[in-house]
Amino acid sequence: MNRRDFLSRIFGFLIFLISGKLIWDFISFSLKKRQKLSIPMAQVSTKPSVIDGVIVWRENDTYWVYSSHCTHLGCILKYDREAGIFKCPCHGSEFTINGTVIHGPARKNLKRLDYIVKNGKIEVNL
């Protein structure tokens, strides 16, 4: 085997490994069950609160469910009841109770999460 054949086989083997890894990641991502969080409806009030990593509150029959992770670098937001907004303790981003960013450095609004109401609980898709 000459040098060219050897390098060609090494290159082919590397392509094989990289392709296998990409295919494996795709398959495992596709098969992975989405995590769910179950929150008893009795815990959800008309005031926003952070429960197990999600912001949740209700307005009449509508529930508002958002990720409580800041869209800047992922810190958990805290609710400022006096101001009625969510503040990030890490770098100071602020969000309305509807998830709209009103002060940076975050640029994106909070992620609204899908949910269903079932058996007296709110099941949130994380």
Binding site for ligand FES (CB under 6 A): 70, 72-75, 88, 90-93, 105-106
- Give 4 or 107: the residue with its C-beta nearer to ligand FES: 107
CA distance 97 to 37: 20
101's enclosing H/E stretch is: strand 101-103
CB of 108 to ligand FES, least distance (A): 11
CB of 73 to ligand FES, least distance (A): 4
**Which residues are bridge partners to 55 per DSSP?**
50, 66
CA distance 126 to 121: 15
Q: Report how far apart, in Å, the C-alpha atoms of 45 and of each of 14, 16, 50, 112, 115 are.
A: 55, 54, 11, 18, 16
CB of 109 to ligand FES, least distance (A): 13
CB of 93 to ligand FES, least distance (A): 4
- Give 67 or 93: the residue with its C-beta nearer to ligand FES: 93
- Give 84 or 104: the residue with its C-beta nearer to ligand FES: 104
CA distance 74 to 67: 10
- Give 80 or 114: the residue with its C-beta nearer to ligand FES: 80
